[in-house]
Amino acid sequence: MSSAGSHVNRRSNSNNENGRAISGSVGSGFKGQIRKCQCGEFLVMKTVTDMRNPNYGKKFWGCRNWRNRSDSGCNYFQFLSDDDNGDVDERDMKIARLKKKNGKLKHEVCFLKEELCNSRRWSKIAIMFGFLCFGFNIVLMTMIFSMYLK
């Protein structure tokens, strides 16, 4: 393997429009662009999935920090041009999907850990309450039997 194919060579162009950075080759012959939006986040490629949308199936660049109803994130959006179609690397799309899935799974793990701690706490409380009731019943039964035996 040549030394040129085993390292990453990246160049950035600060005069580039829309805050994009240009990258050189990565690995063995991969050429593509690393894009950033105005807020500094890396752009991710997405696909229009709403079948009612006339742009269904079309790919576009969007910020990871996309603005929605609940927050005030970035609103960068740009459809892929015909020039971009040759530079699009499916691995980048897969990496973006896996990172998103990883984030969701980490959130779910945290939620489940918290739920487990709460379940353990309530189990301990239930066991202590059971012992307390058992002890109370023993004392009560002892008092009742002692009254009948007199």
Tell me: the pLDDT tens digits for 20-47? 333 323 333 334 556 677 777 777 778 8
Residue 117 lies in domain: 104-150
Which of 28, 24, 21, 58 shows the shortest CA–CA distance to 43? Answer: 21
Is 11 within the bounds of a domain?
no
pLDDT, one tens digit per residue, over 69-109 is 666 667 787 887 766 555 566 777 788 889 889 999 999 99
Closest by CA to 5, choosing from 24, 29, 21, is 29
CA 9 to chain centre: 29
Is 57 found in the same domain as 31? yes
Do 59 and 122 fall within a single domain? no
pTM to 2 decimal places: 0.38
